[in-house]
Amino acid sequence: MEKSILELHYVCNHILRTTHAQVRQYQIGEKNRLELLNYYGEEIKEDAVNADEKFAQEILHAGRKDYPVIYVEEYPVHYAVIYHLSTCLIIGPINVEHQQIYREGLTVQNYYARQHKIEGLKIPYCSYETFCQEILLLFYMLTGREMSYQELNEKNFITDDLLASMKKKKSKLFFNYHEYSRVHNPYSQEARTMEGIRKGDVERVKKCISETFVGEYGVLSKNALQNVRNLGIVGMALASRAAIEGGMPYEEAFSLNDSQILKLEEINNIGEVVVMIRRGIIQYAEIVRDLRNDSNKKKNPLIEECKNLIFRKMHSKIAVRELADELDVSIEYLSALFRKTEGICIKDYIMNQKMQLAENLLIYSEYSIEQIGLYLGFSSQSHFGAMFKKYENMTPKQYRNIYAKKEFQETTKNLTNTIKS
């Protein structure tokens, strides 16, 4: 078997394993008739492309380009098409959302199986970016041409109609603002807030976000609740960047921002969203303030990178030697510099960080003590319990009983009873 054929088989199987999407290779005959050369995936009878000739021709027509085509049957179902010489590869379908019920009370799989008049259809979940990166790998293997993720999206989705609609929307908004004498919130107010966060000036930030001003925040959604959510997402993203500039470790800032946005998506009350946005922005200022108040600590780029590295590895057992290797310094140098800069040895710092995270999980999550210990890289529940007691002077169970929110205590109790029964 030729090397190129072996490479094609390898890459197609890799795509199948990574995305769980079916991969088909066709020879294109007269009048666009398809002859299946290779198939990677489930049984062919469960394949909409092979079972529905009209649908297959639609994909082929859309995909006749000199670059990979992302074919959206209807969001969230995606395919990809690559033409190469006299053959064509069709990859998919994949579902880029986790949703279970799609339309008419049916799952995505059942809905599209009915659309294509086949008994069953598998549409695995795969993130959109992962799917695109796998398609780009296959395209490079076939053609030797490199293409970026951004370029792939631009070639597929930037059209004259899209650009025209963007200009039309901008013109319409400009007209409405002038027609009704509407103005946005002043930039100076936003700048003052961000500067307050960078300096850790909590009172200044509270004052800024309570200012009365002429103007109004932009409209980011036609739905009132979603509009406030979107404004909050933008505001807290800006606040997180200002906090990083003020000295907050970027991994910690990004993780906090992610958790805030996910929480916003869960809230279905405008008043509650407004309160959370205000509290979230102030939180960044408080973190920067606390960092600045520790005057004994002088910033050192290597130590800040070490702390970010520790944060990323919090769920595993962290060895100081591994940290030194990744930072390309000796273990002796890193240990000495860390103690000099932070006033604590690396091992104690790591354990302190793990205990802080353990406290939060014991208070705010329904995970069992054993699960929390394993998540934080401890070899057993007893090891976790011993270390927790050493640092907190009480066992994890005692800590949870005293400080945990009532709803989490009830959930944990119910889960434990369910497991036992």
What DSSP letter does each residue of 121-163 carry, written as one string? ----B--HHHHHHHHHHHHHHHH-----HHHHHHHHH--HHHH
Q: Which residue would you say has higher pLDDT here, 222 or 167?
A: 222
Please tell me the predicted confidence (pLDDT) of residue 175: 56
Over range 71-75, report the average pLDDT.
89
Q: How is the chain split into domains, by residue range?
A: 3-158, 187-293, 301-420
| DSSP state, residue 345 | -
Q: How far is CA 216 from the centre of its chain?
A: 30
8 Å CB contact between 408 and 368: no
The answer to whether 3-158 and 301-420 have equal CATH topology is no
8 Å CB contact between 102 and 125: no
- 269 pLDDT higher than 70: yes
- 418 pLDDT higher than 60: no
Structure-block tokens of residue 390: 């050493």
- 297 pLDDT higher than 70: no
Percent of the chain with pLDDT over 90: 35
Over range 62-89, report the average pLDDT.
90
pLDDT band at 130 (very low <50, low <70, confident <90, very high): very high
- 52 pLDDT higher than 90: no
Burial class (CB in 10 A: 0-12, 13-18, 19+), 335: middle
Place of tokens 């109004």: 216
Place of tokens 């205590």: 409
152-175 residue pLDDT tens: 998 888 877 766 776 666 566 555
Please tell me the predicted confidence (pLDDT) of residue 214: 58
Fold of 3-158: Beta-Lactamase (3.30.450)
Structure-block tokens of residue 267: 């809230």
pLDDT band at 204 (very low <50, low <70, confident <90, very high): confident
Residues 265 and 279: their CA atoms lie apart, in Å, by 16
pLDDT band at 405 (very low <50, low <70, confident <90, very high): low
Structure-block tokens of residue 264: 């916003």
Radius of gyration (Cα) for the chain, nearest Å?
27
8 Å CB contact between 116 and 48: yes
Model's pTM, two decimal places? 0.54
Q: How far is CA 329 from the centre of its chain?
A: 32
Percent helix / strand / coil, the chain, rounded to 5:
65, 10, 25
pLDDT band at 1 (very low <50, low <70, confident <90, very high): very low
Residues 239 and 76: their CA atoms lie apart, in Å, by 32
- 180 pLDDT higher than 60: no
Over range 104-110, report the average pLDDT.
83
Cβ within 8 Å of residue 386, ≥6 positions away: none
The number of beta carbons lying within 10 Å of the beta carbon of residue 417 is: 9
78: left (phi over 0), alpha (psi -120 to 50) or beta: beta
Over range 220-231, report the average pLDDT.
86
| H/E segment holding residue 217 | none
Please tell me the predicted confidence (pLDDT) of residue 416: 47
Q: Which residue would you say has higher pLDDT here, 43 or 111?
A: 111
Residues 322 and 325: their CA atoms lie apart, in Å, by 5
What architecture is domain 301-420? Orthogonal Bundle (1.10)
Please tell me the predicted confidence (pLDDT) of residue 43: 66
8 Å CB contact between 297 and 343: yes
Structure-block tokens of residue 333: 């140098």
Please tell me the predicted confidence (pLDDT) of residue 385: 92
